[in-house]
Amino acid sequence: MLLDTMCNAFGGIILLAVLVVLLTNRERIQNAVADSTETLQRRLAIAETNLQQSLQLAASLHNQANDDRWKSQVSLLATRQQLEEQLKQIRKLAAENEKEIDANAGSDPAERMKKLDAQMNEIEVKKLAAQNKIDASNEEKKHVAAELAAAEKQMEAVKKLSERELRLPKEYNTDRQVVYAIVLYGHIYPCRNVDMSRNEVDIKWTDKSGVEYADPRKNKGLDPVANAAQLTAYFTAQAQKGSVYLDFVVLEDSFPAFIAAKQLAADSKLPYGWIPWRRDLDGDLSFSAYGTMPRPQ
């Protein structure tokens, strides 16, 4: 069929027309490619130019931003904006006040007075409530302060009850005759009787080289509680002489007995003192005309 068409004169014309169209389209495509390349190069040049201009503009803007004049202008613009906001608020408040004035001007003065009185009464009620709260708080504060003071007094009283005053004897020269009383086993062992003879009943004595060693007999002596009357009579008899000074020799196991006995001596007006004695440090109880210096207490 193609051969018939090529051999036919009309077919030859058609074939020529097709070839012409194909050649024309090819030239157009080549021209379009050439035009696209030129257009792309032109656009690239324009883009580079725009980039350079943008960089120059950015550098210029950066320099202007660092300029003190521009900074001051920016600060002034911010201040201006704040002033404009304040002005808007003032205008808004003025408009509200104007509306309120217009509303009050159009209302009855008596009604306005009633409203003002109601507002004043409400304010007065709130003020009174606040004052009542303040008064209640002050009363509560006074009550708490009174309770605190009472608690402090009670604590002070309890503290005094738990404390016991200790009156230490004063050292001074005396011409009185010293009578010793040994405090051991919770009892009082006077070393001398009322007639100043040696107490041989309650104490076992041993004489060694002019030194008298005393060994109180257990379950003997006078109990300062059970035998308080007998002990008081002894102290009173010694005090009536006016020349006797009582010295308690107190061992570590009988300090409460000494406290009770010294009170009886004080009540009998008998001057007294006391010597703490520790057998493990001071040795056996001994009495001599010469004596020794006591250890530091």
Q: How many residues does the chain have?
A: 297
Residue with the two structure tokens 């169209």: 21
Closest CA to 286 of 185, 182, 193: 182
Stated as kind and residue range, the H or E segment containing 225 is none
Cα 111 from Cα 113, distance rounded (Å): 5
Measured from the Cβ of residue 211, the count of other Cβ atoms closer than 10 Å reads 14
pLDDT of residue 189: 92
The pLDDT, as a whole number, for residue 297 is 47
Measuring CA to CA, which residue among 224, 208, 236, 213 is closest to residue 262? 224
pLDDT of 7 = 53
225 and 260 Cβ atoms separated by less than 8 Å: yes
Give, in order, the Cα–Cα distances in Å from 208 to each of 186, 200, 277: 27, 17, 20
> Which region holds residue 267: left if phi is over 0, alpha if psi is between -120 and 50, else beta?
alpha
Residues 6+ apart with CB under 8 A from 194: 234, 237, 238
Give the Cα separation of 216 and 184 in Å (integer): 8
Q: Which amino acid is at 109?
A: P
CA distance 182 to 203: 9
What distance in Å separates the CA atoms of residue 136 and residue 126, rounded to the nearest whole number? 15
Q: Are 217 and 203 in contact (CB under 8 A)?
A: yes
- Cβ–Cβ < 8 Å for 177, 243: yes
Q: Please report, in tens digits, the pLDDT of each residue of the chain (297 residues total).
A: 555 545 555 555 666 666 666 666 665 555 555 556 777 788 888 878 878 887 887 777 777 666 666 667 767 788 888 888 888 888 888 888 777 766 666 566 777 788 888 888 888 888 888 888 898 888 888 889 888 988 888 888 888 777 766 666 555 556 778 888 889 888 999 988 888 888 888 888 888 877 888 888 888 888 888 888 989 989 888 888 888 888 898 888 888 888 988 898 888 888 888 888 887 887 778 877 665 545 554
| 190 and 199 Cβ atoms separated by less than 8 Å | yes
**Which of 216, 271, 208 shows the shortest CA–CA distance to 238?**
271
The kind and range of the H/E element at 94 are helix 68-106
Helix (H, G, I), strand (E, B) or coil at 145: helix
* The pLDDT of residue 164: 67
55 CB burial (10 A radius; 0-12, 13-18, 19+): exposed
Res 25: pLDDT: 61
Tokens of 214: 């005393």
